Amino acid sequence: MNRPIEEEKEDSSHPYRRPKDAATLVLVDRSGTIPKVLVGRRHDKVVFQPGKFVFPGGRVDASDNRIPIAADIPKDLEKKLIGGSPTISPGRARALAIAAIREACEETGLCLGRKTTNGTASRLAGEWTPFADAGLLPDPSGLFLIARAITPPGRVRRFDTRFFTADASSIAHRIEGVVHADAELVELVWLELDSPSLDGLHSMTKNVLRDLAQRLTLGPLSHAADVPFYHFQGGGWQRDVI
């Protein structure tokens, strides 16, 4: 039997907006008895979820499908990403995985990549400059999809979000000074999955985190595992699997 889906009340009176593709990355440290996840506390003056703990993430950029990468996304991950409705192309699936890595680096200073000696990294620019400076190419080969969720119609912001996870050992480079008192994220904290501090997360994020916790109890992550797909249908939340 599926458990109830938590939903917090939000204003649903806005005109229809097509959801934007977005990606979120949940970094997990499994070195201890209880797995820990990395969360960042948002600045008190930001518009969305001020002062709340969040996972790094954001919208897909047009450049995310064009930059060089260290390795292709696994075929089994690509298959999961194009599942559900509406479907997407393999190129868009690649862009979603890369967006998760880019957003994590931008917001936390933690970069998932691989060293390159052929000079390819020097072609990276803009948001990818930290990778170029470190001689890294983004590496999506260690990502796993743990959920997909589409914001219901009528909301002022709508996203078709893919939630990824990766092990903390995938962090190849750290940029100092990204998180500070005047930044979007004012602190980073590794919290155990059962920490009361995670109770303040957005309701859908808590659903996803419970899904992740359940998967982690089963052992190493696998692309073959069912991925929950949360979407609004017939006036209520629907939880399918991909």
CB neighbours of residue 215 within 10 Å:
18
Per-residue pLDDT, 202:
86
* Chain position carrying tokens 């979000």: 161
Per-residue pLDDT, averaged over 4-11, amounts to 45
pLDDT at 16 (0 to 100): 67
Q: What is the pLDDT of residue 27?
A: 98
Domain ranges of the chain: 20-241
CA angle 71, 73, 76 (to 5 degrees): 140
Q: What is the Cα–Cα distance from 101 to 73, expressed in whole angstroms? A: 12
**b/e burial code for range 147-165 (CB count within 10 A of at least 16 → b):** bbbbbbeebeebbbbbbbb
Q: What is the pTM of this model?
A: 0.90
Query: What is the C-alpha separation between 168 and 122, in angstroms, rounded?
Result: 25
Q: Where are the beta strands (DSSP E) in 49-170?
A: 53-54, 57-59, 110-115, 136-138, 144-150, 159-167
pLDDT digits (tens, 9 = 90+) for 210-233: 999 999 998 889 999 999 999 998
pLDDT of residue 3: 41
Look at 40-54, 89-103, 126-140, 174-188 and tell me which has the smallest mean pLDDT.
40-54
> Over 80: is that where the pLDDT of 194 sits?
yes
Mean pLDDT of 167-188: 92
Residue 137's pLDDT is: 96
| Whole-number pLDDT of residue 47 | 67
pLDDT of residue 14: 55
State the CATH class of domain 20-241: alpha beta
